[in-house]
Chains A and B, each alone.
Chain A
């Protein structure tokens, strides 16, 4: 199933893969820095988990790239275009579960009125309140993702890559997490014990929202929904133009469009419905299995000319 992807798209995908490798590298440094600065702050812990979770999309993207162009096999006759979407669904599930768990943690810290303790330590001969160290770690944790996110976004649009887009979007919004975390720590500094848990709640709410949005995108594709826009659940304009043109060439037919990964597939079906008559089906499949055959398709390589008496 090696498609002729235009060179321009192929080179953008290669560039995106390079950026994702860089993302993984920077994220690992951030995860290490945050781990050592974490202490007992709930907001820091939540931000750290979010950083760890944001490793998922780059890894999924790179894995999907590996599988996507594999030729179809006997066991997978339609190829592997949807490997990314499947991975995306699993990642979205993880994100949602984690967001819910962290939100619960933050809420219970607020209800139980847990006062976060942050002490001081000697660092290079200086007596430093560890809160400032956490703020420094949070500032560092924001910079690479925001830059990389803004670099990845246009590539995601050009290649219609859902994982890449979600990744870029989450990265670009990472400064919110950082700022919320900083507000939490500085809040503790001023003696507002609740600032930490409130910030943690805000961050986990963000994780939960990302998870739910990604779930919606992944489910739409895996249920053979019409192709969607990258940044919303609206149907992509390609569906309208494609359907109209196909209806012109196949009078008396309807058009169904779906997507597999970044690719789009269209079916032309009789207006009366695409389902195979049970009598016809039994001609092909004998016995008790015939009820399972509901549709029969024929793929075209060349398009018929539009008929003169259209519509």
Chain B
């Protein structure tokens, strides 16, 4: 075994710290920006990309709101405004015929499929968008929408 190098010590420190965390029973995964805590029992702010959400998207939003015991609050705007608001955490969810291969995929996190979409000649999974990195929220949302897909 070589001498204990600096990187070894850093890694060791990190592991020990995380083990302590793990044993103290924190919620894993957690949201870096606390979206789940913010929404639960409060208001679920949804950005709608279409004037009225069609049944598939509306049902998914309703299921998510129910799972979080929150009141859904819809606002319609253009895609760039909504995705920018989502990135800043001003809204919690964007819905409205979003395909899984949306060009916004790099800037947001996409949920599991809520249905299908036919765009031109291609069929794509239909998803919802949430803020990037809010992993606890993503799991709550995925569990809520799983029901109707099965």
Whether A191 is near chain B, meaning CB under 8 Å from some CB there, is yes
Q: B132: which A residues are within 8 A, CB to CB?
A: 114-117
- From A115, A179, A180, A206, B32 is in contact (CB under 8 Å) with A115
Q: Which one of A44-52, A182-190, A234-242, A280-288 is at the interface?
A: A182-190
B95 to chain A, nearest CB (A): 17
Give residues of chain B (102-150) contacting chain A, Cβ–Cβ below 8 Å: 109, 111-112, 131-136, 138-139, 142-143
Give residues of chain A (170-203) contacting chain B, Cβ–Cβ below 8 Å: 173, 176, 179-180, 182-183, 186-193, 195, 202
CA distance A189 to B111 in the complex (A): 18
Q: Which residue of B lies closest to A205 (CB)?
A: B7
**With A119-B109, A129-B139 in contact, is A179–B11 under 8 Å at CB?**
yes
Whether A118 is near chain B, meaning CB under 8 Å from some CB there, is yes
Q: A278: which B residues are within 8 A, CB to CB?
A: none
Whether B30 is near chain A, meaning CB under 8 Å from some CB there, is yes
A192, B32: Cβ atoms closer than 8 Å: yes
B32, A183: Cβ atoms closer than 8 Å: no
Q: Which residue of A lies closest to B1 (CB)?
A: A172
Q: Quick one: which of A115, A116, A131 has the most chain B CB within 10 A?
A: A115
Q: Which residue of B lies closest to A177 (CB)?
A: B11
- From B7, B28, B112, A129 is in contact (CB under 8 Å) with B28
Q: B29: which A residues are within 8 A, CB to CB?
A: 118, 129, 131, 188-191
B35 to chain A, nearest CB (A): 11
Q: A182: which B residues are within 8 A, CB to CB?
A: 15
Q: Which residue of B lies closest to A119 (CB)?
A: B138
B18, A183: Cβ atoms closer than 8 Å: yes
A117, B28: Cβ atoms closer than 8 Å: no
B18, A190: Cβ atoms closer than 8 Å: yes
- From B10, B15, B111, B136, A202 is in contact (CB under 8 Å) with B10
A102 to chain B, nearest CB (A): 15
B149 to chain A, nearest CB (A): 11
Q: Residues of B at under 8 Å CB distance from A?
A: 2, 7-8, 10-11, 14-15, 18, 21-22, 26, 28-33, 109, 111-112, 131-136, 138-139, 142-143
10 A-B pairs with CB atoms under 8 Å apart are: A115-B33, A115-B132, A129-B29, A131-B135, A186-B22, A187-B14, A188-B29, A189-B28, A191-B31, A193-B133
Q: Residues of A at under 8 Å CB distance from B?
A: 114-120, 127, 129, 131, 173, 176, 179-180, 182-183, 186-193, 195, 202, 205-206
> What are the 3 closest A-B residue pairs judged by CB atoms, nearest first?
A115-B133, A191-B30, A117-B109
